[in-house]
Structure 1
């Protein structure tokens, strides 16, 4: 097997293992089991990795192939996050979520359990083609705001959103356009910047807009900078965006990579209509790993 083929097989294997874990049993790791290992000097990050390796059927003690696979991937995948660090984020500090419903949409707080795993940043890809998903966990309970559609989590502001939007927030300036409203995290963070004159948000879900305008936007310190347009993002990109001459455009229309690739590729086509505009896309690094 050629080196590149071996890397592709390894990538497929780690993604399959982690997908099964995150989709079916993200709270598999028990606190008591972790603490037992920690008593013997094993760091939390390593303890989580070892427990999951065993759950995945890897024999890292006696099987050399499994041990090499573990050493190659697991230390670069799992991360202990600090609740205090995210508590200092200005959105978490200043925007409070009531528990309300409008139509099929419900605004509320959800929680990560201690040691529950979740995607916490873009996939890291090395020059040789290895791909490392980034999986975080907290050692204590962590509450985060969410919008549920028909009882299922659809939009959130979790550490993943915080980390993966940092670059697009940092680069935003002047007249900004955002496709996708969510819980208004991007709109809030961008509106706080002196370099940003205005932020226009295109969102087609009327219930989401109503929730935002009624309960969240009034909490924005720079609400005067924010404009909401109820429209289809792709129609707006084709028919309206070029004439508006935006300085910076951020697109966040998808839930994850699996439903984002097609929309990403379609939206990229409209960049040519605005040659002076800078474009940015949510989780673009992860999407490009699949293209």
Structure 2
């Protein structure tokens, strides 16, 4: 990975420009690209990703034909940024196949399915950083509508199990072993996937939201084949890490407390400080690769 000091000013400017444009798109109009528009361009023999990129660049006011800077930005970023995903690949995920989410509300928390519209864009993986320091967001879309489990807090999406969560947790799932500690419960995706591993003996989950714990215990955990491996502790993650983590003989710790990089950096750095107290434990963090791009 290239350190920030080794990145040229021009590349830093390009990175900033791409992230600013995507932030506007994802926050305000992620579903403005429609199937008929994509279809017309694809008829010319290009990929769905290329067609999606052309429409996105046009919406950003970029001239990828006559403007050399815009053309270079498109080639350097868009070609490696956009991905048409296969819905069946994700619906075949073990959690999606085996866990059914009811529509239920407890307190201010609501459990339900949300959807991505056809060709709606969303973050689908960690930021990819090139050898020269270009930071390329990973944006996915589906050709058809895609449903995913979610927890809403005061009618706002708070926790989800989307392709992004599935992709960015793969490594932490595959590496887990022994006695596992995880900070953050959500819908129990990580706990479920890790509980299915034969080399995992126990999973301790630290979560402070009582409504989320109730939703999970009543409607999700009973569906887990290896529910006996899982223990839920209602506590603040940082207080638990400070007082109890080093005493728990944990082999593997996974932290997932933040929504994205913007609110994750400070919590990531805070949690990292506790690693020295458990030198024999392996620590992993959700979207760490993306967070490190900003440090």
Q: TM-score range by the shorter chain?
A: over 0.9
* 1:1-291 mapped onto 2 (5 Å cutoff): 4-291=8-295
Farther-moved stretch of structure 1 (123-132 vs 277-286)? 123-132
1:51-76 per-position Cα deviation (integer Å, ceiling 9, x unaligned): 00000011011111111111111001
The residue matched to 1:200 in structure 2 has which SS? strand
- CA, structure 1 residues 37+227, in 2 after alignment: closer, same or farther (shift >3 Å)? same
Whole-Å separation in 2 of the counterparts to 1:6 and 1:120: 26
Tell me the CA shift for residue 40 of structure 1.
2.0
Whole-Å separation in 2 of the counterparts to 1:72 and 1:246: 43
The residue matched to 1:165 in structure 2 has which SS? helix
The residue matched to 2:203 in structure 1 has which SS? strand
Whole-Å separation in 1 of the counterparts to 2:230 and 2:220: 12
Whole-Å separation in 2 of the counterparts to 1:63 and 1:228: 56
The residue matched to 1:162 in structure 2 has which SS? helix
Whole-Å separation in 2 of the counterparts to 1:201 and 1:3: 39
- CA, structure 1 residues 264+3, in 2 after alignment: closer, same or farther (shift >3 Å)? closer
1:101-128 per-position Cα deviation (integer Å, ceiling 9, x unaligned): 0000000000000000000000011222
Tell me the CA shift for residue 245 of structure 1.
1.1
* Structure 1 segments (4+ residues) deviating >4 Å: none
The residue matched to 1:26 in structure 2 has which SS? coil
CA contact (8 A) 2:7 2:133 kept: no
Farther-moved stretch of structure 1 (188-197 vs 29-38)? 29-38
Tell me the CA shift for residue 157 of structure 1.
0.2
Tell me the CA shift for residue 163 of structure 1.
0.2
Aligned length: 290
Whole-Å separation in 2 of the counterparts to 1:135 and 1:35: 19
CA RMSD of aligned residues (A): 0.9
